[in-house]
A and B are shown apart, each in its own frame.
Chain A
Amino acid sequence: MLAGNLPSPAGKQLTTSDQAGKRWFSAPDGAGLWKLLSESGALDRS
């Protein structure tokens, strides 16, 4: 599992990983998820 971790303003972890051949993003709220999704480019191909 690859992971890149960023601390969120609330001190909680924003994490990305690769599972089942896909990018997985995890955050405690919508703002964190948007940050990860928009910065990753994972949705650009769609």
Chain B
Amino acid sequence: MTEVHRAARIEDAVHEVLEGWLRKRGWFATVVPYTGYGAPGWVRVMGRVMVSRPDHGRPRKAGKVRGWRSFTTVSAKDAPVTVEVAGRRHETVADRSGFIDTVVKVDLEPGWRTVLISSGDTEPVEAPVRVVDPAARFGVVSDVDDTVMVTILPRPMLAAWNTFVLDEHARAAVPGMAVLYERLTGAHPGAPVFYLSTGSWKVAPALTRFLSRHLYPPGPLLLTDWGPQRDRFFRSGRAHKIAALNRLAEEFPWIRWLLIGDDGQHDPEIYRTFAETHPDQVAAVAIRALSPPRPCWRATSRRRPASS
């Protein structure tokens, strides 16, 4: 067994103290469900166990929800989890980040289904699960930042502003992409859509709301756990995307994927690698071309009209 990275051990210790302190003050475990997926014979159920503040019956204020709030949540480490699928209960344990990721052997009809997730004595919450039709031969894997949602990752200060400061309702969709996805799924009924991003699982609820608000087709999110990992200081985004694509190829060998991304970071390189290793499972690659980055002073400066 490999030794856990020192940064991860420190993070675990801090979380343990914080979680204990919050629980003494009446905070309790709550399950945040994520969209799962599967095929006849199995489903992958995902979610997160967090420690939440009791609201004492007070309604939450409606208003701005800035991006940084998603990152201030506290996970419940190693929490016991019960997943109920088709009337049968399956016990599992959340990981050190409170993340639930378990595959349950069960036969569900293709389409959208619901499973129940609970932790300890929490009320079960419903998690949607997309059961992919074995007759489907086409699917979409889409990047998120700068492919469906404007983030401007090539300019870190703007990306940080968009991610952490901007109200989630102010995030803009990339023009035409929702219609593109609607047309793709309309032309290929039953085609699953997966949103594969290096973004943190903590933003999954906000991202799901964004996709819904902009009429993107619903689909499972495949995100990452930010922060120290068991074997390294910070996760590798590239490794996460390649591992997720390889897993989809293994889980759905009969599907050919349209890979959609942008040229702002590593999507072309990652998709090229996947196409080379899985030539029969790639239908095509679609890349959104970002405008070349301009210096900040050019973006804000005004040009004088040429004197005649």
Chain A interface residues toward B at CB < 8 A: 12-13, 15, 19-34, 36-38, 40, 42-43, 45-46
B:189-207 near A, CB below 8 Å:
none
In the bound assembly, the distance between CA atoms of A36 and B286 in angstroms comes to 9
In the bound assembly, the distance between CA atoms of A1 and B282 in angstroms comes to 18
Chain A nearest CB, measured from B245 CB (Å):
13
Contact, CB under 8 Å: B256 / A25: no
Interface flags for B124-140 (1: CB within 8 Å of A; 0: not) read 00000000000001100
- For the residues of A in contact with B, the DSSP-based class is mixed
Contact, CB under 8 Å: B287 / A43: no
Contact, CB under 8 Å: B272 / A20: yes
Q: Which residues of A contact B137 (CB under 8 A)?
A: 46
Given known pairs A22-B275, A34-B176, A34-B183, the reply for A45 and B283 (CB within 8 Å) is: yes
Q: Which residues of A contact B272 (CB under 8 A)?
A: 19-20
Chain B nearest CB, measured from A18 CB (Å):
10
Between A and B, 15 residue pairs with Cβ closer than 8 Å are: A13-B289, A20-B272, A21-B279, A22-B282, A24-B284, A27-B288, A30-B174, A30-B288, A33-B180, A33-B260, A34-B180, A34-B183, A40-B284, A43-B283, A46-B138
Contact, CB under 8 Å: A33 / B291: no
Chain A nearest CB, measured from B268 CB (Å):
8
B:159-196 near A, CB below 8 Å:
174-181, 183-184, 187-188
Given known pairs A20-B275, A22-B285, A24-B285, the reply for A29 and B174 (CB within 8 Å) is: yes
Contact, CB under 8 Å: A22 / B284: yes
B55 within 8 A of A: no
B179 — nearest CB in chain A belongs to which residue? A30
Chain A nearest CB, measured from B265 CB (Å):
15
Point out which of B177, B256, B286, B288 has the most chain A C-beta atoms below 10 A from its C-beta: B286
Chain B interface residues toward A at CB < 8 A: 137-138, 174-181, 183-184, 187-188, 256, 258, 260, 263, 272, 275-276, 279, 282-291
In the bound assembly, the distance between CA atoms of A38 and B263 in angstroms comes to 21
A8 — nearest CB in chain B belongs to which residue? B289
A27 — nearest CB in chain B belongs to which residue? B289
Contact, CB under 8 Å: B176 / A31: yes
Q: Which residues of B contact A46 (CB under 8 A)?
A: 137-138, 188, 256, 258, 283
Chain A nearest CB, measured from B177 CB (Å):
4
Q: Which residues of B contact A38 (CB under 8 A)?
A: 183
Contact, CB under 8 Å: A28 / B285: no
In the bound assembly, the distance between CA atoms of A38 and B284 in angstroms comes to 12
Q: Shortest 9 CB-CB distances between A and B: which pairs?
A: A30-B176, A46-B138, A30-B180, A30-B177, A20-B275, A31-B176, A42-B284, A29-B176, A29-B175
Chain B nearest CB, measured from A5 CB (Å):
12
Q: Which residues of B contact A24 (CB under 8 A)?
A: 284-287
Chain A nearest CB, measured from B149 CB (Å):
12
In the bound assembly, the distance between CA atoms of A28 and B262 in angstroms comes to 9
In the bound assembly, the distance between CA atoms of A25 and B187 in angstroms comes to 18
Chain A nearest CB, measured from B137 CB (Å):
5
Contact, CB under 8 Å: B283 / A12: no
